[in-house]
Structure 1
Amino acid sequence: MTTSQSDSTVPSDDKATPDALLHTGSGGPVTAEDLVLAAGRDITPKNMAWAERKLREEGPAAMDKLLP
């Protein structure tokens, strides 16, 4: 039994993902929960306090520093 994929499932074009699809934008204000999740952390009281401090100090730019 083989585990390789058939040729029909392999993309025919070797193109890069458009830049606009790689970057995110917020439709509203950045929350502490958003910042914790973007940092790859669990939502805990300690991490929420960290995020709230970062947002107070840096504003929405705190999110920009975490995401491409």
Structure 2
Amino acid sequence: MSTSQPDASRPSAARTDDDRATPDALLHTRTGTDVSPEDLVLAAGRDVTPKNLEWARRKLDEEGPAALDKLLP
């Protein structure tokens, strides 16, 4: 029975670009589409309930799509 660990034994020279973190300059919070109340609720880590949807609607009315930007990196 082998006790080797494939990931641990893989030399760093054999790693691919997929093993690296995405640079901050390439990360985006929105796709340019409208932000829905459901988007805001989910980005906040909340359940989609009538109460949370109303909170999101108020937040979007006050802050616009920037409300989502404030929640995401």
Please, what TM-score do these two structures have when normalized by structure 2? 0.70
Name stretches of at least 5 consecutive residues in structure 1 with no aligned partner: none
Structure 1 window deviating more from structure 2 (22-31 vs 47-56): it is 22-31
* Equivalent residues, number: 68
CA shift, 1:12, in A, is 7.2
CA contact (8 A) 2:46 2:52 kept: yes
Are positions 1:29 and 2:34 aligned together?
yes
Please, what TM-score do these two structures have when normalized by structure 1? 0.75
CA shift, 1:60, in A, is 0.6
The CA distance in 1 between the partners of 2:24 and 2:30, in whole Å, is 13
Could you say what secondary structure the match of 1:42 adopts? coil
CA contact (8 A) 2:29 2:69 kept: no
Two-structure CA RMSD over aligned residues (Å)? 2.7
Larger radius of gyration between Structure 1 and Structure 2: 2
The CA distance in 2 between the partners of 1:46 and 1:3, in whole Å, is 51
Name stretches of at least 5 consecutive residues in structure 2 with no aligned partner: none
The CA distance in 2 between the partners of 1:17 and 1:23, in whole Å, is 11
